[in-house]
């Protein structure tokens, strides 16, 4: 399937290198580039003997560069020190990080010809790390230090309009080339840091007046969009023009509505922001079930931009502690993607830029797993991923790449951010994403205790988003009255001291039901478990003690993989059953996985995107909209006794769900040895608890306790399963 155009803001355009008269021409510079390296920042390489794909990363270069990616960040060194792996003196001696490579920069080069002379030629590099500088035809154009946002470079004065142009882009080889107080990615568990141009590169050619940015904010009652267009006249003389806005459907390309043309005059060098409201008659709302998309075509006399959008409103609400989509409560179910950790995976290769692979990752598998949401965790994705999320109907909690934990406030252990630089980059980050209907939550940081975000950064930027999306402020407390908070109740971690047992989940076993958040705000559960395994079933750096305690030192890889899925499925059922969370997101769907990794995903093969079958089985059931949870985790039942079981059900759909709930005990051949059935009706978005009695059979051995909810009209039930051993009753003298 061809990649859809990038349609999202400012200088993002629709289509290929062609445009109507007076409109924008876009020239893609994606493809094969030359690449070289250097120690010096100001010396262009003399020889270009390597090639690399753009978009991509420097470790894809051919022939390969030695030691590319090798950098120990401040956070990784701190992590090693506090775990006792290195002395404090080694950490303090390398406080800015350690580069294990004989270079500081990578240089990219390619040539191109311009198809037509226009008044402006703008280079857009969607994302590159670590820091970007640009030269055209030997003239330095400028620098952009953001690693997670688009950089724009005005090539107009240096462009050769009738001959070949030589473009050179320099990027840092590792985060340490940037100032420590600038965000370049912070992660205590990322071992490799890969430089490169990892998003699309394009030339944008247009005439005055130039469209710099377009923001579309949908409203559903009445159905309309607020359009904010920033326009600039780069001429030394005034310009008069008509600003037009036209709406069409994305797939069908059918005209929907148009604004009344606005007649505008800009003085020489003037930039102006124009705000308009355009009705959308008969609007179809965007949702996970119906991800309907529109396109807004914005034009002046010399420029044009097409912006894709969806008619939807999303918010969190403190009074109800729920997420609301288009005026209705929605429960978010899903997982996390840490793409920048996947970059360091030996199998990642060029997969993140393979359209078919990404569509399977974000569309096909989530549909099978009953997911409607993701957190893009500690690191952004290429723009194309957000385009696909829009088409998939996914709700994305988009997290900026900052994780600094809670080190001592002063001294060399802490990051002292440049607040002004954070604000500049967060503004760019919002600009790059605010037109995506999938963009649901701005996530400022991960597991970070730092008041600068709530006191300075978020207040300075949140008003720029005309859709008024919520912000999630990690462990700093909510900045806005309806902002959600995140929760990471890692039941099994840290593994060296943890004594958690699943039986503690039972209401009468001492732990009780999940508690309300201390702030009273809606809560997002976006990490839980601490049960990661490598794809071959070996424990990760964080879980060896966990599995030794749970299964003993001689357990097989298959036993560990089966237990991981079984426990994750049960935890997911538990957290959903009590309705204390507006969102339940497992950690982690895709990440780096290799010997020495701290965490891992649940793929058996990430190249073919084949999930571990145990995980696919248990987690698919646990995330079904009609959820079932057996509140029973004790390892044994007594033969011949009657036992009352608690079965909880939730319904994430708006309409009531009715059918039959069956509770059974099955032997190892799948034959039922005890069974009871009751009818159920669970209100829309509701919850129901059942108390069911079963006579435990006299047989002894290993059995499966299974609750199956058969919804009327649906052939496949929702399952909750518990492995249990039936043991003989104790002799009378032991019963005391």
pLDDT of 9-48, one tens digit each?
Answer: 333 333 333 344 579 999 999 999 999 999 999 999 999 9
In a domain, 691, yes or no: yes
What is the rounded average pLDDT of the residues 704-726? 97
Rounded Cα–Cα distance for residues 534 and 531 (Å):
10
Instruction: Give me the pLDDT at residue 406, please.
Output: 78
In a domain, 441, yes or no: yes
Assign 735 a pLDDT band (cuts: 50, 70, 90): low
Q: pLDDT tens, 553-600?
A: 999 999 999 999 999 999 999 999 999 999 999 999 999 999 999 999
Assign 408 a pLDDT band (cuts: 50, 70, 90): low
Instruction: Give me the pLDDT at residue 11, please.
Output: 36
pLDDT, averaged across the chain: 94
- 464: pLDDT strictly greater than 90: yes
Instruction: Give me the pLDDT at residue 511, please.
Output: 47
Q: pLDDT tens, 201-221?
A: 999 999 999 999 999 999 999
Q: Are residues 193 and 236 in the same domain?
A: no
Instruction: Give me the pLDDT at residue 20, please.
Output: 43
Question: Token pair for residue 553?
Answer: 């030192």
Assign 409 a pLDDT band (cuts: 50, 70, 90): low
Q: Are residues 467 and 599 in the same domain?
A: yes
Q: Are residues 618 and 641 in the same domain?
A: no
Q: Are residues 570 and 486 in the same domain?
A: yes
Torsion 52-54-58-59 (CA) sign: negative
Instruction: Give me the pLDDT at residue 287, please.
Output: 98
User: In this structure, are residues 174 and 68 in contact, taking their beta carbons and an 8 Å threshold?
Assistant: no
Q: Are residues 171 and 254 in the same domain?
A: no
The least confident of 306-320, 372-386, 468-482, 501-515 is: 501-515
Rounded (10°) angle between helices 544-551 and 557-577: 90
User: In this structure, are residues 327 and 320 in contact, taking their beta carbons and an 8 Å threshold?
Assistant: no
Rounded Cα–Cα distance for residues 56 and 587 (Å):
25
Can you give the pTM of this predicted structure? Answer: 0.95
Q: Are residues 355 and 231 in the same domain?
A: no
The CATH number of the domain holding residue 192 is 2.60.120.260
Q: Are residues 60 and 99 in the same domain?
A: yes
What is the rounded average pLDDT of the residues 253-262? 96
Question: Token pair for residue 57?
Answer: 């990363």
Q: Are residues 509 and 404 in the same domain?
A: yes
| CB proximity list for 529: less than 8 A, separation 6 or greater | 490, 491, 492, 567, 568, 571, 586, 587
Radius of gyration over every alpha carbon of the chain, rounded to an integer in angstroms: 28
User: In this structure, are residues 399 and 377 in contact, taking their beta carbons and an 8 Å threshold?
Assistant: yes
Rounded Cα–Cα distance for residues 558 and 696 (Å):
30
Q: pLDDT tens, 595-635?
A: 999 999 999 999 999 999 999 999 999 999 999 999 999 99
Q: How many domains does the chain have?
A: 4
Q: Are residues 360 and 509 in the same domain?
A: yes
Domain range spanning residue 31? 26-206
In a domain, 1, yes or no: no
The CATH number of the domain holding residue 663 is 2.60.40.10
Rounded Cα–Cα distance for residues 18 and 196 (Å):
28
Q: pLDDT tens, 326-344?
A: 999 999 999 999 999 999 9
- Of 175, 206, 237, which residue is a domain's last? 206
Rounded Cα–Cα distance for residues 706 and 354 (Å):
41
Q: Half-sphere exposure of 285 toward its Cβ, with a 13 Å CA cutoff? A: 15
In a domain, 356, yes or no: yes
């Amino acid at each position: 399937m061809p990649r859809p155009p990038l349609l999202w803001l400012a200088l993002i355009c629709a289509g290929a290198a062609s445009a109507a008269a007076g409109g924008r021409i876009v020239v893609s510079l994606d493809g094969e580039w030359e690449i070289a390296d250097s120690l010096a920042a100001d010396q262009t390489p003399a020889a270009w003997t390597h090639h690399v794909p753009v978009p991509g990363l420097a470790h894809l270069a051919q022939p390969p560069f030695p030691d590319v990616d090798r950098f120990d960040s401040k956070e990784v060194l701190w992590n090693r020190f506090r775990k006792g792996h290195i002395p404090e003196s080694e950490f303090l001696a390398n406080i800015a990080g350690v580069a294990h490579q004989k270079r500081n920069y990578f240089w990219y080069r390619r040539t191109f010809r311009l198809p037509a002379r226009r008044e402006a030629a703008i280079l857009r590099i969607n994302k590159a790390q670590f820091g970007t500088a640009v030269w055209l035809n030997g003239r330095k154009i400028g620098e952009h230090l953001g690693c997670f946002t688009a950089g724009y470079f005005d090539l107009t004065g240096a462009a050769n309009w009738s001959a070949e142009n030589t473009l050179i882009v320099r990027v840092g080889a590792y985060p340490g080339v940037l100032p420590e107080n600038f965000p370049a990615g912070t992660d205590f568990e990322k071992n490799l840091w890969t430089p490169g141009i990892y998003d699309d590169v394009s030339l944008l050619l247009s005439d005055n007046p130039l469209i710099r940015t377009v923001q579309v904010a949908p409203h559903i009652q009445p159905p309309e969009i607020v359009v904010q267009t920033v326009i600039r006249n780069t001429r030394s003389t005034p310009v008069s023009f008509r600003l037009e806005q036209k709406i069409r459907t994305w797939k069908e390309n059918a005209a929907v509505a148009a604004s009344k043309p606005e007649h505008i005059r800009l003085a020489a060098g003037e930039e102006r922001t124009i705000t308009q409201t355009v009705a959308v008659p008969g609007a179809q709302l965007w949702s996970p079930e119906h991800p309907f998309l529109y396109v807004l075509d914005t034009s002046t006399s010399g420029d044009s931009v097409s912006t894709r959008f969806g008619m939807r409103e999303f918010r969190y609400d403190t009074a109800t502690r729920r997420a609301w989509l288009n005026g209705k409560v929605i429960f978010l179910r899903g997982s996390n993607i840490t793409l920048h950790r996947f970059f360091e995976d030996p199998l990642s290769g060029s997969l993140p830029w393979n359209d078919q692979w990404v569509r399977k990752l974000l569309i096909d598998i989530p549909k099978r797993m009953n997911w409607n949401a993701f957190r893009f965790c500690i690191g952004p994705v290429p723009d194309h991923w957000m385009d696909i999320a829009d088409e998939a109907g996914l709700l994305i909690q988009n997290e900026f790449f900052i994780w600094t934990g809670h080190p001592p406030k002063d001294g060399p252990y802490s990051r002292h951010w440049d607040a002004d630089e954070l604000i500049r980059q967060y503004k760019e980050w919002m600009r790059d994403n605010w037109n995506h209907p999938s963009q649901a939550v701005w996530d400022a940081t991960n597991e970070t205790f730092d008041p600068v975000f709530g006191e300075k950064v978020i207040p300075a930027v949140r008003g720029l988003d005309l859709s008024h999306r919520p912000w999630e402020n990690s462990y700093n407390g909510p900045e806005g009255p309806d902002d959600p908070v995140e929760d990471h109740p890692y039941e099994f971690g840290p593994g060296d001291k943890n004594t958690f047992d699943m039986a503690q989940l039972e209401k009468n076993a001492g732990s009780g039901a999940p508690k309300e958040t201390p702030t009273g705000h809606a809560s997002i559960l976006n990490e839980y478990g601490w049960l990661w395994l490598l794809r071959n079933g070996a424990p990760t750096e964080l879980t060896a003690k966990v599995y030794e305690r749970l299964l003993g030192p001689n357990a097989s890889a298959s036993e560990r993989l089966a237990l991981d899925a079984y426990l994750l499925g049960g935890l997911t059922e538990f957290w959903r059953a009590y309705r204390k969370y507006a969102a339940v997101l497992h950690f982690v769907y895709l990440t780096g996985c290799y010997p020495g990794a701290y965490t891992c995903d649940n793929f058996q093969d990430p190249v073919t995107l084949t999930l571990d079958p145990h995980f696919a089985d248990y987690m698919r059931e646990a995330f079904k909209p009609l959820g079932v949870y057996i509140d029973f985790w004790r390892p044994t039942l007594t033969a011949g006794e009657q036992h009352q079981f608690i079965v909880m059900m939730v319904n994430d759909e708006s309409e009531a769900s009715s059918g039959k709930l069956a509770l059974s005990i099955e032997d190892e051949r799948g034959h039922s040895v005890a069974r009871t059935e009751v009818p159920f009706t669970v209100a829309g978005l509701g919850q129901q608890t059942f108390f069911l009695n079963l006579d435990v059979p006299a047989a002894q051995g290993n059995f499966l306790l299974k609750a199956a909810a058969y919804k009327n009209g649906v052939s496949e039930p929702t399952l909750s399963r518990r492995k249990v051993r039936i043991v003989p009753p104790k002799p009378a003298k032991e019963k005391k």
